[in-house]
């Protein structure tokens, strides 16, 4: 048994295995959202005009701003991992805090956007929405479901990163063992990528 | 840690039951990350729900003993068959073999100390238990027990007063538990094989778990989101499956079956894995067509993911979709038949020992073949129009799932019982139990093929007098079946408390789990073994004692 195999089999320190497990988990997340993307595709195909009309009403500025925020947060996330790999613990925590704040900012924006729609009486099962065409009802149904589930993922990511922040600060995650932070980073990037698909589908294709 | 990595305080002669951990009493179980203890946690929780499911099935048959009302009203009947389905499918059949035997034996069979993610493994059990408890709570809260059938079809699931939201959330949690198990097993098989344990030296049970793990990872999230959307519909009325708002119930059926058909292979593949272990051991012969069996598991996983539409031949999907799904359905028969033929070929010129596990495996071959062949009837478009939603489907399904997965589960239980508990059961009683269960099974389910062929619709509370004789026969069969089950589990319970101590290798098996003491020590192997041969080489692996 060589040195690496010994580490893996006897001491349960398996960097590659942890990565593999995380990627499998990310695959399940993609399939979870995949189900909703299929619904989107099918309903868009049946109601192209209504989807077009409804998409015009979404606020592109807030959408673009949120895209920018999430992309930047992915950058700070990656920087945080690079920092810990090079042994700069302080720097790593700063980048991590920045990532958490950006994630929080995303949710605040989302809150502003949703409450704007609510004020116009557009939310699932609202009388205002039910008076509209079926295509628009479906568009908003999917809009709230998909951005809602995405928002929950951002929230989960923020909680996860807070735990990571604690672990980095206490030194559990360090230069020699950073797989937890790296896997959390992968999760954060996934949340980002899903948004990259949601943004054009709901805001840009009109 | 000492240089060879064995935990401090582990002595070769001490089993994992006696091993002192950080906690004692019940905490030593519910906080343990040892794959064997988690396997046993699953064992007792899953069996509990199995018995509840059996009682519900017994009540269904009792109600149907004669036309008209017998013991319950129609609404109760709807809830009882829904619960029977939900409990059996989600709480017993899907997790049964992977979560119990997979957890216990996967690391043993590949020469590892544990699975890749022991904490996640324990977490999956908590998801399972939470899901199970919520499913039970849903019976007594909200609008009462779910009456939609286990498929939760929209739009009825959106309209009924029953407590659908909690029930679908419970199933979502169970799905999540299944996903975690799948991720864990796939990673473990990739990463923790002992030195020399190459892919083609893996026991076939491991191959089956590997294929199953992939289906769990790829298919379960889809049903997860589908059920969450039902939840959103119920809570907020988003409208994506509600025809009144433009939603399409057929799309619900597609998304549901995209998971739930592959889920049938989550149920049957591990069962096939067990059969692939039992047959060579009791024929004292290496398995015929090792690679064919291993790859057919992957082929079933692959093709099985492309056949979901055969549940929807009469739903109104396009004719093109119908015949494509029909074609793929017939293709699944090929890898399944490859397995059956290879098992039978393994028996040829073998030195066959008819111990109880082997009897269950033989029963499996018989029942699974009937189940598989009757599936072909429903895969053909024209015949299916006649058979759809009749008792023929119920008969076919139970031949595959109970006759297949169920009997393989019993076979695996008897095969590995001495290893898991270190006790040997009474073999004569076990053989009789197998025979009685087998006879009861056929009397219970075979009449359903005829009933269905003659037009008896499934899920009906009442029926025409001309169906009476066969329904009566079927109900009598259920009594025989249950007597067999009582005898079987009674025998095992007696063995658990009063059984003779089991030797390390009572069946003369050649795979790794038989090379260590019964029950296994805490860290499985004193030293990680180095593998220099295939899994079914019986020379030098003779029966001990």
- The mean per-residue pLDDT over the stretch B96-116 comes to 96
A-chain CB neighbours of B187 within 8 Å are 17, 20-21, 24
Q: Return d(Cα B523, Cα B7) in angstroms, integer.
A: 8
Pick from B184, B192, B240: CB nearest A8:
B192
Pick from A9, A12, A31: CB nearest B218:
A31
CB contact under 8 A, A141 and B187: no
Residue B19 has pLDDT above 90, yes or no: no
CB contact under 8 A, B224 and A32: yes
B396: exposed, middle or buried (C-beta count within 10 Å: 0-12, 13-18, 19+)?
buried
pTM above 0.95, yes or no: no
B177: exposed, middle or buried (C-beta count within 10 Å: 0-12, 13-18, 19+)?
buried
Give the confidence band of B11 by pLDDT, cuts at 50, 70, 90: low
Give the confidence band of B436 by pLDDT, cuts at 50, 70, 90: very high
Compute the half-sphere exposure of residue B47: CA atoms within 13 Å on the CB side of its CA: 16
Q: Which of B43, B45, B78 is nearest to B59 (CA)?
A: B78
Q: For A7, name the nearest residue in chain B, comparing CA atoms only.
A: B5
- The mean per-residue pLDDT over the stretch B330-342 comes to 94
Q: Answer yes or no: are the C-beta atoms of B347 and B283 closer than 8 Å.
A: yes
Q: Return d(Cα A198, Cα A153) in angstroms, integer.
A: 13
Q: Which of A108, A88, A87, A91 is nearest to A158 (CA)?
A: A108
pLDDT, tens digit (0-9, with 9 covering 90-100), for B495-536: 999 999 999 999 999 999 999 999 999 889 988 899 988 999
Crossing angle for the helix pair A179-199 and A15-46, to the nearest 10 degrees:
10
- A to B CB pairs, distance under 8 Å: 130
Compute the half-sphere exposure of residue B329: CA atoms within 13 Å on the CB side of its CA: 26
Residue B5 has pLDDT above 50, yes or no: no
Which residues, other chains included, contact A189 with Cβ-Cβ below 8 Å and sequence gap of 6+? A74, A77, A78
For residue A162, the distance in angstroms to the closest alpha carbon of chain B comes to: 20
- Average pLDDT value over all residues in chain B: 92
DSSP state string for B499-511: PEEPPS-TT---S
Give the mutation candidate from A9, A44, A53, A136 for the B interface (greatest B CB count, under 10 A). A9
Which residues, other chains included, contact A151 with Cβ-Cβ below 8 Å and sequence gap of 6+? A107, A110
Which residues, other chains included, contact B260 with Cβ-Cβ below 8 Å and sequence gap of 6+? B151, B223, B308, B311
Backbone angles phi, psi at B279, to 5 degrees: -60, -50
Q: Answer yes or no: are the C-beta atoms of B526 and B278 closer than 8 Å.
A: no
Q: Return d(Cα B451, Cα B495) in angstroms, integer.
A: 40
C-alpha separations of B201 from A114, B280, B297, B416 in Å: 56, 14, 16, 20
For residue A9, the distance in angstroms to the closest alpha carbon of chain B comes to: 6
Task: Return the H-helix or E-strand segment holding B530.
Answer: none
Q: Answer yes or no: are the C-beta atoms of B437 and B485 closer than 8 Å.
A: yes
CA angle B452, B454, B460 (to 5 degrees): 50
For residue B237, the distance in angstroms to the closest alpha carbon of chain A comes to: 5
- Amino acid B24: pLDDT: 81
Preceding peptide of B519 cis, ω within 30°: yes
Identify the DSSP state of B456: P
pLDDT tens sequence for chain A (206 residues): 555 676 677 666 789 999 999 999 999 999 999 999 999 999 999 999 999 999 999 999 999 999 999 999 999 999 999 999 999 999 999 999 999 999 999 999 999 999 999 999 999 989 999 999 999 999 999 999 999 999 999 999 999 999 999 999 999 999 999 999 999 999 999 999 999 999 999 999 87
B-chain CB neighbours of A18 within 8 Å are 116
For residue A91, the distance in angstroms to the closest alpha carbon of chain B comes to: 30
Q: Return d(Cα B173, Cα B291) in angstroms, integer.
A: 35
Q: Which of B291, B272, B261 is nearest to B98 (CA)?
A: B272
For residue B242, the distance in angstroms to the closest alpha carbon of chain A comes to: 10
Q: Answer yes or no: are the C-beta atoms of B232 and A145 closer than 8 Å.
A: yes
Q: Answer yes or no: are the C-beta atoms of A38 and B250 closer than 8 Å.
A: no
pLDDT, tens digit (0-9, with 9 covering 90-100), for B449-507: 999 999 999 999 999 999 999 999 999 999 999 999 999 999 999 999 999 999 999 99
pLDDT, tens digit (0-9, with 9 covering 90-100), for B186-229: 999 999 999 999 999 999 999 999 999 999 999 999 999 999 99
Q: Return d(Cα B19, Cα B9) in angstroms, integer.
A: 8
CB contact under 8 A, B116 and A14: yes
Give the mutation candidate from A2, A31, A183 for the B interface (greatest B CB count, under 10 A). A31
Q: Return d(Cα B139, Cα B77) in angstroms, integer.
A: 14
CB contact under 8 A, A10 and B5: yes
Please give the structure tokens belonging to residue B92. 């017993």
Identify the DSSP state of B423: E
Instruction: Please list, residue by residue across A179-189, b when 16 or more beta carbons sit within 10 angstroms of its beta carbon and e when fewer do.
Output: bbbbbbbbbbb
Give the confidence band of B18 by pLDDT, cuts at 50, 70, 90: confident
Pick from B5, B236, B240: CB nearest A39:
B240
A-chain CB neighbours of B246 within 8 Å are 43, 47, 133-135, 137-138
Q: Return d(Cα B232, Cα B214) in angstroms, integer.
A: 28
Q: For B4, name the nearest residue in chain A, comparing CA atoms only.
A: A10
Crossing angle for the helix pair B103-110 and B164-191, to the nearest 10 degrees:
10
Q: Return d(Cα B213, Cα A21) in angstroms, integer.
A: 12
Q: Which residues of A fall below an 8 Å CB-CB distance to B?
A: 1, 5-6, 8-12, 14, 16-18, 20-21, 24-25, 27-29, 31-36, 38-39, 42-43, 46-47, 123-125, 130, 133-135, 137-138, 141-142, 144-145, 149
CB contact under 8 A, A124 and B192: no
Helical residues (DSSP H) of chain A, grouped into ranges:
3-11, 15-46, 48-56, 60-85, 89-119, 127-130, 134-170, 179-199
Q: Return d(Cα B119, Cα B543) in angstroms, integer.
A: 36
Preceding peptide of B155 cis, ω within 30°: yes
pLDDT, tens digit (0-9, with 9 covering 90-100), for B260-306: 899 889 999 999 999 999 999 999 999 999 999 999 999 999 999 99
């Amino acid at each position: 048994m060589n040195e690496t195999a010994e580490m893996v089999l006897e001491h349960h320190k398996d960097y590659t295995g942890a990565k593999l497990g995380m990627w499998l988990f990310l695959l399940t997340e993609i399939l979870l959202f995949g189900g909703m993307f299929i619904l989107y595709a099918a309903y868009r195909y049946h109601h192209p005009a209504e989807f077009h009309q409804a998409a015009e009403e979404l606020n592109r500025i807030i959408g673009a701003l949120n895209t920018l925020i999430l992309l930047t947060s992915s950058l700070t996330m990656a920087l945080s991992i690079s920092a810990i790999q090079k042994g700069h613990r302080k720097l790593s925590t700063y980048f991590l805090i920045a990532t958490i704040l950006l994630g929080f900012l995303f949710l605040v924006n989302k809150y502003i956007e949703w409450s704007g729609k609510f004020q116009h009486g557009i939310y699932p099962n609202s009388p205002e929405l039910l008076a509209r065409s079926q295509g628009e009802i479906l568009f908003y149904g999917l809009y709230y479901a998909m951005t809602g589930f995405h928002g929950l993922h951002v929230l989960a990511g923020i909680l996860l990163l807070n735990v990571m922040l604690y672990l980095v600060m206490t030194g559990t995650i360090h230069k020699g063992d950073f797989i937890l932070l790296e896997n959390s980073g992968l999760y954060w990037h996934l949340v980002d990528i899903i948004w990259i698909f949601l943004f054009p589908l709901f805001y840009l294709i009109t | 840690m000492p240089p060879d990595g064995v935990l401090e305080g582990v002595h070769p002669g001490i089993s994992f039951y006696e091993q002192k951990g950080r906690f004692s009493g019940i905490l030593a179980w519910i906080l343990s990350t040892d794959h064997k203890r988690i396997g046993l946690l699953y064992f007792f929780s899953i069996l509990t729900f199995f018995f509840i499911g059996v009682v519900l099935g017994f009540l269904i048959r009792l109600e149907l003993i004669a036309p008209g009302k017998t013991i319950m009203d129609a609404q109760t009947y709807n809830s009882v068959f829904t619960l029977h389905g939900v409990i059996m499918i989600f709480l017993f059949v899907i997790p049964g073999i992977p979560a119990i035997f997979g957890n216990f034996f996967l690391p043993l069979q590949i020469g590892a100390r544990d699975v890749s993610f022991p904490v996640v493994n324990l977490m999956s059990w908590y998801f399972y238990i939470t899901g199970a408890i919520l499913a039970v709570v849903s019976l007594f809260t909200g609008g009462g027990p779910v009456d939609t059938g286990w498929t939760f079809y929209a739009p009825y699931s959106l309209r009924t007063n029953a407590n659908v939201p909690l029930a679908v959330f419970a199933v979502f949690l169970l799905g999540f538990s299944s996903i975690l198990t799948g991720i864990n097993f796939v990673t473990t098989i990739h990463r923790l094989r002992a030195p020399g344990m190459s892919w083609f030296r893996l026991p076939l049970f491991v191959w089956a778990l590997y294929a199953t793990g992939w289906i769990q990872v790829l298919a379960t999230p889809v049903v997860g989101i589908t059920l969450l959307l039902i939840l959103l519909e119920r809570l907020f009325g988003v409208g994506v499956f509600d025809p009144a708002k433009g939603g399409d119930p057929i799309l619900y059926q597609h998304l549901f079956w995209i998971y739930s058909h592959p889920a049938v292979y989550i149920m049957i593949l591990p069962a096939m894995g067990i059969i692939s272990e039992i047959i060579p051991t009791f024929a004292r012969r290496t398995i015929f067509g090792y690679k064919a069996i291993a790859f057919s598991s992957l082929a079933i996983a692959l093709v099985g993911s492309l056949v979901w539409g055969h549940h929807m031949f009469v739903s109104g999907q396009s004719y093109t979709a119908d015949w494509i799904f029909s074609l793929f359905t017939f293709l699944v028969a090929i890898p399944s038949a490859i397995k059956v033929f290879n098992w039978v070929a393994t028996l040829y010129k073998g030195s066959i020992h008819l111990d109880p596990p082997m009897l269950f495996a033989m029963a499996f071959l018989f029942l699974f073949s009937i189940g598989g062949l009757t599936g072909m009837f429903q895969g053909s478009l024209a015949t299916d129009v006649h058979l759809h939603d009749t008792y023929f489907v119920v008969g076919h399904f139970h031949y595959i799932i109970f006759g297949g997965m169920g009997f393989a589960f019993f076979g695996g239980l008897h095969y590995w019982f001495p290893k898991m508990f270190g006790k040997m059961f009474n073999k004569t009683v076990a053989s009789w139990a197998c025979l009685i269960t087998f006879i009861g099974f056929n009397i219970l389910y075979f009449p359903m093929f005829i009933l269905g062929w003659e037009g008896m619709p499934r899920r009906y509370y009442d029926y025409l007098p001309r169906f009476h004789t066969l329904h009566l026969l079927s109900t009598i069969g259920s009594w025989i079946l249950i007597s067999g089950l009582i005898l079987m589990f009674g025998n095992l319970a007696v063995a658990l408390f009063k059984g003779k101590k089991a030797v390390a290798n009572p069946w003369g098996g050649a795979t790794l789990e038989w090379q260590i003491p019964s029950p296994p020590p805490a860290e499985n192997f004193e030293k990680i073994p180095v593998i220099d041969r295939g899994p079914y080489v019986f020379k030098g692996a003779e029966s001990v004692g």
